[in-house]
Structure 1
Amino acid sequence: MNHKNIFKVAWLIAVITIVSKVVGFGRDVVIAQAYGASMASDAYFYAYQVPALTLILLGGVSGPFHTVTVSIFSKEDITGKPSRDAEKALNTFLNITGIVFTLLTILVYFFSDTVAKAITAGGNAQLQAMVAEQLRVMSPIIFIGGVVGILYGISNVYNRFLLTTLSPTMASFAIIVAIWGFGSDNTGLILAWATLAGAVLQLLIQLPAYFQVGFKYLPDFDIKMDKIKKIGEIIFPAVVGCTIGQLNIYVDMFFASQLAEGSWSAISYANKIFQFPVGIIMTAMLVPLFPVFSNLVGKNDWDSLRFYFHKGLSSLWFLAFPVFSIIFVFSQDAITLLFQRGKFDAGDTVMVTQALIFLSFAIFPYVARDLLTRIFYAFDDTKTPFLIAAMSIFTKAVMNYFLVKPFGLAGITLSTAAMAGINLVWLAFLIRKKVNLDFKRIRTPLLKITAAALVMTAVAFGSNLLLHQILGESRIFLLINVLTSGILAMIAYFIMTLILKLDIAEQLLYKIKAKIFKIINH
């Protein structure tokens, strides 16, 4: 796939991901309206973190099962029907994963009370009982997550992005339909059952691509294959690394369970708002770039690897900086507009806003860290990211201990942003042992983007303040304010990047002009 096709695919995935994220965001709004930041929502968000480890972190986009599948099978000839060797390796991988994750599902189901007490150690008995009950309902998602990751990975190898990228939308629709159909309950069990139904739909929608490319499922179980040995070498540290990364979440849950009711829900809502734009950016860029990184490392083509890394990082930061500015200036107004209705009141808005503003600082190291991690994965090195993640747990706990006291729930999200920065520094330092990525070349575009983002933030803040004074605080005027100020700020940002002659902005302007010219001539 050449660089033009890569960015065409990136745009396609971006559009699909936007649709998926919009539906997912609608799901979060529906949950917030039905449950607010309450004990029932706390219980759901606590319980969901256990199966989410497999469905989102391990089996999700850019998770270990997805990335390992891409890394191993992208080296195959994909122009024709899969070879019997590739089919056998993939089926063996699926079968091993299915057995292991079935055992984990059974363990979590029967020991749900113990798990609930461990992750909500600071909570009361009622909360822990609600978490355990929801966890039993959602435990089969643990099995589903690993299988989904493999199927999604093999679809990407064969350039099948449409249905697989849309699959999370099914999970969101299931929750929306369940709440609209059955309403809310005091235990959150409706959420748990709907989440399980959504995960099943997410698995089913992956299957057509698996069969369309020519694979046939068989009960293969050849652990002596070279591919399986290689998968084992890569997947184990990657899974442990993600699990250790999830331990940071459990550390956060421990500290949040000691705060006021609704605190963990507020942090969860803030994270979902944060992940809405960030997830679109990351999915659109990393999904098409990772197979390219893997292929270039296999060819020892270091110049091309540096080119795509610089292109990817510049694009990520070009998009990330305005996202930060918008969150920083408009977070409270946006949360009021989108969430403050039903059981989600003004107090909940304040809690989510506090968590979100501090979390927004994580976007800069977050996108760069995940891009660098893909370079390590392209070298079949999952151990280094794993060790860095392992070291972060103790540091995260210490930062939470000192930050939660003065900042409350915002201290938890502030420590998350700080940890992303620390991990990025370690990755950037250690990647030099494998390849010289010439980080100095990023300095100039980064300075230009930063300068443009500062102007954007000033325009956003000034216009927002002025319109608040002129229009007042009613919901319709608040919407006009956010839209008008946001558009003015984005225009200011784009103009500044053009004035500063940022390559990405100039290329984007050229494409816009070309599209307009094409439309006019037709």
Structure 2
Amino acid sequence: KQQTSILSAATIMTSASMLSAVAGLLIKRLLNHYFFENSQEALEAFWLAFQIPDMMFQLIILGALSAAFIPIFTSYKKESYQKAFHMSSIMMNILLLVFVGVGIFVFIFARQITEFRTGAEISPDQIEIVVNLTRLMLLAQFFFAISNFMTGILQSFQRFIIPALSPIFYNLGIIIGVVFFSSQLGVYSAGLGVVIGAFLHMAIQIPLVYKLGFTYSFSLNFKYPGIKQFFKIMPPRVFAIGASEIRKLALGFFTTSLGSLSYLTMLYALTLMTVPIRLFGVPIGQASLPFLSEKSGKDERGKFIGLVLQSLNQISFLTFPASVLLLILRIPAVRLVFGTKDFPWATTLLLGKLIAVLAISITVQALAHLLTRAFYALKDTKTPLYIAGFDLFIYFSLSYYFVFHTGWNVMGIAFATVLTAFIELFLLLFFLDRKVGGLVSKAFWYPQLKMLIAAFFMAVSLYLPFRVLDELVFNTTKTIELIALSVTTGTIGMVVYLYFAALLNIRELKIVLDLINNFGPWRKILSKSEEVLLETGVEGEEL
């Protein structure tokens, strides 16, 4: 079924993302169960091996799709489905050819690349595992490359359900690999699972793409008009993603310079921190691009600004309480997600400290994701590129200083992450406001301030019952009672947040209450475009 508003599309994507996020957390717990006690270094090597294949995919495939593919495909689709599909085939052929060429290079020089990008504290055995798994997971990224073209086509037709479900099948593949092959293959079973999952990620989308009329054609026509436009738009986005990927490599280098398991610990902290971003920031950002693209013309600038403002407010309304929950309940979260019987208490406490710092930036990073998509809808990929490059410089400088000159170790990297996130958001807001006008106004700051106040009282109402119940009522050495404590205090906190949201007349609360009170006709509620497409005046006030 076609989704007709950002909120309806994002709701479906969020629901599937929630299932995928839960599956992803279960996978990390599963890997801890199978490998943490006896194969800690191998487990860390498995996650390090992801970086180069994933970097290839992000740069060559996702960079094109996220910035260039959907706007160009949408414009062709308005003229002719056949031309749109032909253009997509040419684009896919060109990028897959580049991907295979780079993949062959990485396969041959995997060892040299691994030795260059890791710090002094990584062991030779870990390097061997990283090299082998890197080569294996190149195949997975090839499947992902094809799959994400399918995703781009489906999202251009405003079909979001199947693309949103595909990550669940990816996680299922990893589970199959680990559960059925770990005894024979060790940590390599997880690599096999990644390949299986990537294939399933692709396979589930192909039938619907062909049902929509897609016909594949082998062509490498670089002179096709859409391809020329694609190569004009794509490079800045690729460089922007390149900055993000270099940042990931920097994380690997700095943490492997600190000692064994530093990378794994930081990765786990980032995993929990990014769950709310994946649930709310990414789906709303992804779902917004086709809608923002349609309203990007100068004659509809008011609607464009209104759409951006409401999307920002929706993200904040959902991520503020998520940040508070994670901040206050960070130790229970770590224990429930990662705390197998062999998971050290010292590591649990360190993860809690890292999450306490990182949780501050959850809403900030989620908002930045949406603002970046707003630039892409305006076919401006250069501004996010410059901001990403500056952000990378700040991140690298701060991380280097905190790691090597303060003795803060991984905590220093967490502080660098938070500081650069705030700088990025400020710059994105500043330059988008200069471009469209009326964005940084009362229509943005006033709702944000009200939500922040509600989140503050939520934090107080969470912390006090949590401390009292932890000391006097629940025996948190038992998993069931730990869950009961988390659910009880979390419920109290959410009730307080919703109460203050109502008291402060936060508009986004009405949408949530409508969904709850009218659960039966939820499709009708979500698809009301007037709930999302409010037109704004010059200063961003709602008309």
| TM-score (normalised: structure 2) | 0.89
In 2: Cα distance, 1:36 partner to 1:299 partner: 56
Select the residue among 20, 45, 48 that pairs with 2:47.
Answer: 45
Worse-matched range after superposition: 178-187 or 418-427:
178-187
In 2: Cα distance, 1:306 partner to 1:485 partner: 38
Shift of 1:77: 4.1
Aligned to 2:454: 452
Check conservation: 2:166, 2:201, Cα contact below 8 A: yes
In 2: Cα distance, 1:434 partner to 1:148 partner: 34
Aligned to 1:20: 20
SS of 1:341 mapped into structure 2: coil
Check conservation: 2:182, 2:188, Cα contact below 8 A: no
Aligned to 1:116: 114
Worse-matched range after superposition: 199-208 or 451-460:
199-208
Q: Measured at CA, do residues 312 and 66 of structure 1 come closer, stay the same or move farther in structure 2, by a change above 3 Å?
A: same
In 2: Cα distance, 1:210 partner to 1:446 partner: 39
SS of 1:297 mapped into structure 2: coil
Task: Let me know the Cα RMSD of the aligned residues.
Answer: 2.4
Report how many residues are paired: 514
Shift of 1:324: 0.9
In 2: Cα distance, 1:155 partner to 1:246 partner: 26
Check conservation: 1:36, 1:348, Cα contact below 8 A: no
Q: Which amino acid aligns with 1:228?
A: I
In 1: Cα distance, 2:59 partner to 2:23 partner: 20
Q: Measured at CA, do residues 231 and 17 of structure 1 come closer, stay the same or move farther in structure 2, by a change above 3 Å?
A: same
Q: Which amino acid aligns with 1:116?
A: T
Aligned to 1:353: 352
Worse-matched range after superposition: 162-171 or 448-457:
162-171
Q: Measured at CA, do residues 483 and 398 of structure 1 come closer, stay the same or move farther in structure 2, by a change above 3 Å?
A: same
Aligned to 1:505: 509
Shift of 1:414: 2.0
Check conservation: 1:310, 1:442, Cα contact below 8 A: yes
Select the residue among 442, 445, 460 that pairs with 1:443.
Answer: 445
Check conservation: 1:396, 1:416, Cα contact below 8 A: yes
Q: Which amino acid aligns with 1:490?
A: M
Aligned to 1:486: 490
Aligned to 1:328: 327
Unaligned runs of 5+ in 1: none
Q: Measured at CA, do residues 333 and 14 of structure 1 come closer, stay the same or move farther in structure 2, by a change above 3 Å?
A: same
Worse-matched range after superposition: 497-506 or 13-22:
13-22
Shift of 1:224: 0.7
In 2: Cα distance, 1:36 partner to 1:480 partner: 27
SS of 1:324 mapped into structure 2: helix
Check conservation: 2:284, 2:311, Cα contact below 8 A: yes
In 2: Cα distance, 1:387 partner to 1:184 partner: 48
In 2: Cα distance, 1:517 partner to 1:20 partner: 25
SS of 2:133 mapped into structure 1: helix
Check conservation: 1:403, 1:411, Cα contact below 8 A: yes
Question: Alignment identity in percent?
Answer: 23
SS of 1:397 mapped into structure 2: helix
Q: Measured at CA, do residues 433 and 323 of structure 1 come closer, stay the same or move farther in structure 2, by a change above 3 Å?
A: same
Unaligned runs of 5+ in 2: 523-543
Worse-matched range after superposition: 448-457 or 45-54:
45-54
Shift of 1:468: 0.6
In 1: Cα distance, 2:13 partner to 2:141 partner: 26
Does the alignment pair 1:472 with 2:475? yes
Worse-matched range after superposition: 253-262 or 186-195:
186-195
Aligned to 1:411: 412
Check conservation: 2:274, 2:362, Cα contact below 8 A: no
Shift of 1:334: 1.6
Check conservation: 2:317, 2:451, Cα contact below 8 A: yes
Shift of 1:511: 4.0
In 2: Cα distance, 1:30 partner to 1:507 partner: 37
Q: Which amino acid aligns with 1:98?
A: L
Q: Measured at CA, do residues 411 and 57 of structure 1 come closer, stay the same or move farther in structure 2, by a change above 3 Å?
A: farther
Aligned to 2:539: none
Worse-matched range after superposition: 203-212 or 315-324:
203-212
Shift of 1:298: 3.4
Shift of 1:494: 0.4
Q: Which amino acid aligns with 2:423?
A: I
Check conservation: 1:171, 1:202, Cα contact below 8 A: yes
Check conservation: 2:2, 2:157, Cα contact below 8 A: no
Worse-matched range after superposition: 156-165 or 183-192:
183-192
Check conservation: 1:67, 1:153, Cα contact below 8 A: no
In 1: Cα distance, 2:451 partner to 2:2 partner: 26
Shift of 1:124: 2.9
Q: Measured at CA, do residues 186 and 221 of structure 1 come closer, stay the same or move farther in structure 2, by a change above 3 Å?
A: closer
In 2: Cα distance, 1:454 partner to 1:382 partner: 36
